[in-house]
Structure 1
């Protein structure tokens, strides 16, 4: 288990993982555990192109791939799949995801965190970005609202607190677990059963 320090940088991906499931985030970023399933393999395939650093220019729009980003203020580090720089000064991050076009708050959170990093690095506002859904071949535009920015800040604090505490959150044991590559490692149903058994034992000794 890797000891977390209060000033250690947090990976951008940890925010998406925590928003989806705090236990998943802890297993990956605190205990350094990972496994593959069909969803992660599809995600890796989608990212093959954008994981290669590079630069393209078309009709005045400069596109950078696998761009390293960070925020000293928030203590974040990571990379953007794609960032488009427009002639009018707009900076537009694009995050690639496998699957069909559908709203997922944890994906929006990751994109917003990228926007905050770009703002700090470049000294320019980043007001919009997009999630590119590979199966649909369509973009879903995200407005970087004040609410979303606040959610990023709160999630950073929650992730940092978890990493410093070194406490593994309880399993979700719900529909999310079916798509999680860590289900066999996490054992959500078994862990939930243990928690229930513990409560049952405690209740035996409670006074009437």
Structure 2
């Protein structure tokens, strides 16, 4: 079991799955920079959490911005939406956890979202004392809800990611920079400087990149 001081944000898993160095820059070095995409995501989550709390639809009770934690897995955070679907009399309601994202579904790139969602389900299972088998991601730009089976394969991948995240933060060392195509989408690009910090990068190139203004999306 983890202590309160050892609990890590569930959202850190998404950053870690995207890039371990990004997670270290945020959670070890305290760096953050917002671009249009992160700002849109933050505003979407705020709208979801501030919507009618505890709303009810026929056969469904909806909890928004639900605080979750797991001492077994060392995680803490908020679930955007948790749906409690009525079942047969005398039986516990069926639980579905829903995460909101700003963009559109991209099957080849959505694995970090799935891991984050599954980690939220693990927290909820510990809190409720029962299994949660149904999850979904709502993509704001597409206005589309995509079901995500919380199956054994995803759970194993999520548990491995949780262990690796704890190891990264516990070690207290930021991984070396390595430029990849995905770096272009990262709001921390101008702080991470993956091209400048490659082994063969010169000091002059480092200084040039470090002093250039951020891209328009990062302003």
TM-score bin (small chain): 0.7 to 0.9
CA RMSD for the aligned pairs?
A: 1.8
- Residue of structure 1 equivalent to 2:40: 42
- Residue of structure 2 equivalent to 1:130: 136
Any gaps of 5 or more consecutive residues in structure 2? 88-92, 203-219
TM-score (norm 2): 0.83
Secondary structure in structure 1 of the residue aligned to 2:196: helix
Residues 53-64 of structure 1: pairs in structure 2 closer than 5 A: 54-64=53-63
Check the 8 A contact 1:57/1:63 in 2, yes or no.
yes
Check the 8 A contact 2:195/2:201 in 1, yes or no.
no
Worse overlay, 58-67 or 39-48: 39-48
- Residue of structure 2 equivalent to 1:158: 164
- Residue of structure 1 equivalent to 2:50: 52
Residues 120-199 of structure 1: pairs in structure 2 closer than 5 A: 120-192=126-198, 195-196=199-200
Secondary structure in structure 2 of the residue aligned to 1:50: helix
What is the rounded CA distance, in whole Å, between the counterparts of 1:175 and 1:93 in structure 2? 31
Q: CA deviation at 1:166?
A: 1.0
- Residue of structure 1 equivalent to 2:211: none
- Residue of structure 1 equivalent to 2:97: 93
CA deviation profile, 1:134-191 (whole Å, cap 9, x unmatched):
0010011100011111111111111111111111112241111111110111011101
Secondary structure in structure 2 of the residue aligned to 1:92: strand
Query: How many equivalent residue pairs?
Result: 192
Secondary structure in structure 1 of the residue aligned to 2:179: coil
Secondary structure in structure 2 of the residue aligned to 1:135: coil
